[in-house]
Structure 1
Amino acid sequence: MNKYKKLALGIVLDALGYASFIIPGIGEFSDIVWAPLSSWFMTKLYKGKPGKVAAVINFIEEALPGIDVIPTFTLMWFYTHVFFTKKTN
């Protein structure tokens, strides 16, 4: 997948995670479903150990009330494609 398509998808997935704030009370219940689902998406977008670590962090972030405002997918994209890119000579 193109890295910019992956960024766009990550932004959409982060926005879906924010959607739980739209409906007070019901929103936190939706996190019970969204937390494992978003973690699964994370492992599909980012392979290997970094993807697994990000999935665990994503699960915790989405499952705990009040901290699911962190854009985990977007941060993982920056980690992967900006901060730790492989240098080619």
Structure 2
Amino acid sequence: MNSQSKKKYKILALSILLDAVGMIPFIDIVWAPISGYIMTRLYKGDKGKYAGIFAFIEEIIPGLDFIPSFTIMWFYVYVFKGKTEETIIDIDAD
């Protein structure tokens, strides 16, 4: 497995973790803007902006916490679109 592929799966693991954090009850008011910001940093361009807005709305509205917005975005970018250069942050910062 090459380093690009490893990085891709680390972002998947991070996405799952961030979606799990979003499911914690009663932190939506704090988590909503944070999740929107993180989404815009994970994915550049208009896709990241739209996903950030979606993540914010999904987190701020009660009852929508079950939607895994980070994981859905990962699948959109890496599986359906087949991109590897979409990430902005370097999660391998050693």
Q: Tell me the TM-score range normalised by the shorter chain.
A: 0.7 to 0.9
> How far 1:11 moved relative to its partner?
0.4
Q: What's the offset of the Cα at 1:68?
A: 1.5
Matching residue of 1:54? 51
Matched residues in 1 for 2:76 and 2:16: separation?
A: 14
Instruction: Give 1:15's match in structure 2, choosing from 20, 32, 43.
Output: 20
Secondary structure, counterpart of 2:23 in structure 1: helix
* Aligned residue identity for 2:58: E
Distance 2:54 2:36 in 1: 8
d(CA) in 1 for partners of 2:67, 2:21: 12
Instruction: Give the superposed CA RMSD.
Output: 1.2
Runs of 4 or more above 6 Å deviation: none
Matches of 2:62 and 2:47, distance apart in 1: 24
The answer as to 2:70 corresponding to 1:73 is yes
Matched residue type, 1:45: L
Higher share in helix? 1
Task: Determine if the alignment matches structure 1 residue 83 to structure 2 residue 83.
Answer: no
Structural mapping, 1:23-34, within 5 Å: 27=26, 30-34=27-31
1:23 is aligned to none
User: Gaps (5+ residues) in structure 1?
Assistant: 21-26
Query: 1:19 deviation in Å?
Result: 1.3
Distance, in Å, in 1 between the alignment partners of 2:12 and 2:77 is 11
